[in-house]
């Protein structure tokens, strides 16, 4: 009711102010943007001392190092040569960062609208190698949905936050609709808003989680937003070249590369592309499902997809789907299993790891894809699990309360090696 009341008040203000002038003045209490100028954004990346984890996001593993994103703030770096005692080395301040990928000793990150390459050759002196400006869509951070948004002036820079205050703004004296879309307040004048020690080895790629929006295939880096696939040539890792954008579908959330195939998890299904020609992805098919958030991982001829309902994901569906992708032009549903509220997942051979939200980490033997629910190997409840990376007997997991590492060399005796605590910022 409060949202509706705010909208009605805004309508009243707009129409009471209407006159024969070219412009009218709106006065209302709402979300006023806090900007960072583009000039400041281009100078903002710097390496600082180690910081506590407050709001961890995507995770990435390369050689003996772990990289954990602090949502919109930067990247934590851990020395993980001894998984039982990970060492928090430093923090890279990267405003607006959501995702990352690594080739050799070069770290690629997003920084609001910019794409940035950073050198990890000297882990004590991480420096910016290259910045490509205005590559990614202009996005807005989370805001108080009890109040409408002020108009955004993109010329002032990127929006890094909000303050609730009385807003006076001039708008054109013409009718324009006011509506809600995807939890965001829009009007006709703002409808373009958009709602992942010694250096490392110089070869190879790192490994990201299932909720990643960055992925590397040989000398090509792919990143996705809501609808666009952004393609970069990273043959020369330190000097990436932007090829351009490719419309990939709608509601894209995650990216997973398996061989010469690209799997994109969307709110309505899984898109499959052939990337044998890296610059020219070829659409093969889509598997449709009901609306829900859905990361995807692939092993051999099977794809595993989790669907989560509620909040921005829509619907109330919570399940694990198993798809046959033996023929990528015609994916077929093999089986489906009920879940509590799944997020990310990972696969290592015939062992599937599922982050089932409040139900914790679940580990399955998927040798029989028709009866996965009957072959649970282990369950770690009491942990709000978000995403995982299984690799060579070591499982990396981000949860709401911390960062966990398990040894699963012996599936009958999975051991917790360490936990890095998340210190929630209550401000």
pLDDT value for 422: 87
User: Could you tell me what percent of the chain has a pLDDT over 70?
Assistant: 81
Q: What is residue 266's predicted lDDT score, i.e. its pLDDT?
A: 84
- Comparing 18-27, 93-102, 169-178, 315-324, the range with the smallest average pLDDT is 169-178
Q: Is the pLDDT of residue 173 over 90?
A: no
Residue 16 has pLDDT above 60, yes or no: no
Question: Residue 355 above 50 pLDDT?
Answer: yes
The lowest-confidence range among 48-62, 193-207, 235-249, 287-301 is 193-207
Asked if pLDDT for residue 81 goes beyond 70, the answer is yes
Asked which of 66-70, 118-122, 164-168, 305-309 is least confident by mean pLDDT, the reply is 305-309
pLDDT at residue 253 in the model? 83
Residue with tokens 């412009």: 23
Query: What is the rounded CA–CA span in Å between residue 42 and residue 354?
Result: 38
**What average pLDDT does the segment 374-391 reach?**
93
More confidently predicted of 395 and 295 = 395
Tell which residue, 171, 141, 174, 134, has the closest CA to residue 155: 134
The closest of 57, 46, 59 to 90, measured between CA atoms, is 46
How sure is the predictor about 182, in pLDDT bands with cuts at 50, 70 and 90?
A: very low
Rounded to 5 degrees, φ, ψ at 82 are -120, 95
User: Given this model, what pLDDT does residue 226 score?
Assistant: 85
Task: Determine contact, residues 344/312, Cβ cutoff 8 Å.
Answer: no
Give residue 249's pLDDT: 85
Q: What is the mean pLDDT of residues 174-190?
A: 35
| pLDDT for position 313 | 52
Per-residue pLDDT averaged across 329-336, rounded? Answer: 95
Token duo for residue 386: 């978000």
Count of CA atoms in the C-beta half-sphere (13 A) of 385: 31
Dihedral of the alpha carbons of 36, 41, 45, 49, in degrees to the nearest 10 = -10
Query: Across residues 24-37, what is the average pLDDT?
Result: 93
| Interval 21-41 mean pLDDT | 89
Q: Quick one: average pLDDT of 383-406?
A: 90
Tokens of 418: 């360490």
Q: 10 Å Cβ neighbour count for 201? A: 11
| Nearest to 60, CA basis, from 2, 99, 32 | 99
121-125: list long-range contacts, CB under 8 Å, 24+ apart: 121/199, 121/202, 122/199, 123/65, 123/77, 123/89, 123/90, 123/197, 123/198, 123/199, 123/200, 124/90, 124/197, 125/47
Would the pLDDT of 286 be above 50?
yes
262 is written with which tokens? 């690209």
- As a whole number, mean pLDDT of residues 129-156 equals 93
Strands 220-224 and 214-217: antiparallel
Report the C-alpha gap between 99 and 96 in whole angstroms. 9
Spatial separation of the C-alpha atoms in residues 95 and 242, rounded to whole Å: 21
Q: What is the mean pLDDT of the chain?
A: 85
pLDDT over threshold 60, residue 135? yes
The share of the chain scoring above pLDDT 90, in percent, equals 62
Separation of alpha carbons 404 and 207, rounded Å: 16
Query: Which has the higher per-residue pLDDT, 261 or 313?
Result: 261
């Amino acid at each position: 009711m409060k949202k509706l009341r705010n909208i009605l008040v805004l309508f009243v203000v707009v129409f009471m102010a209407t006159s024969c002038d070219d412009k009218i003045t709106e006065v209302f209490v709402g979300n006023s943007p806090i900007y960072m100028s583009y000039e400041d954004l281009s100078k903002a990346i710097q390496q600082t001392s180690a910081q506590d984890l407050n709001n961890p996001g995507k995770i990435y593993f390369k050689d003996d190092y772990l990289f954990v994103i602090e949502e919109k703030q930067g990247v934590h770096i851990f020395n993980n040569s001894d998984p039982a005692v990970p060492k928090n080395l430093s923090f890279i301040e990267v405003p607006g960062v959501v995702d990352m990928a690594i080739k050799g000793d070069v770290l690629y990150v997003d920084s609001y609208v910019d794409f940035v390459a950073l050198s990890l050759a000297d882990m004590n002196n991480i420096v910016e190698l290259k910045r490509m400006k205005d590559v990614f869509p202009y996005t807005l951070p989370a805001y108080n949905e009890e109040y409408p948004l002020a108009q955004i002036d993109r010329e002032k820079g990127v929006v890094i936050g909000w303050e609730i205050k009385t807003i006076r703004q001039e708008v054109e004296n013409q009718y324009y609709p006011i509506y809600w879309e995807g939890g965001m307040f829009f009007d006709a004048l703002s409808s373009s808003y958009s709602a992942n020690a010694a250096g490392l080895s110089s070869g190879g790629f790192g490994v990201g989680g299932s909720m990643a929006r960055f992925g590397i295939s040989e000398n090509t880096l792919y990143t996705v937003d809501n609808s666009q696939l952004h393609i970069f040539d990273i043959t020369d890792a330190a000097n990436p070249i932007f090829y351009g954008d490719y419309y990939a579908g709608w509601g894209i959330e995650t990216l997973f590369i398996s061989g010469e195939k690209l799997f994109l998890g969307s709110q309505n299904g899984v898109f499959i592309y052939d990337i044998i020609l890296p610059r020219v992805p070829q659409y093969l098919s889509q598997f449709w499902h009901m609306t829900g958030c859905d990361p995807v991982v692939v092993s051999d001829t099977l794809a595993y997809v989790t669907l989560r309902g509620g909040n921005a994901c829509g619907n109330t569906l919570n399940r694990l789907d198993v798809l046959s992708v033996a023929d990528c032009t015609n994916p077929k549903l093999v089986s489906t299993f009920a879940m509590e509220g799944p997020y990310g997942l990972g696969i290592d051979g015939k062992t599937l790891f599922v982050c089932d939200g409040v139900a914790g980490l679940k580990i399955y033997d998927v040798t029989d894809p028709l009866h996965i629910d009957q072959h649970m190997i282990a369950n770690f409840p009491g942990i709000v699990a978000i995403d995982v990376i299984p690799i060579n007997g070591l499982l990396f997991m981000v949860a709401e309360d911390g960062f966990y590492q398990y040894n699963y060399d012996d599936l009958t005796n999975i051991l917790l090696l360490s936990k890095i605590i998340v210190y929630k910022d209550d401000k």
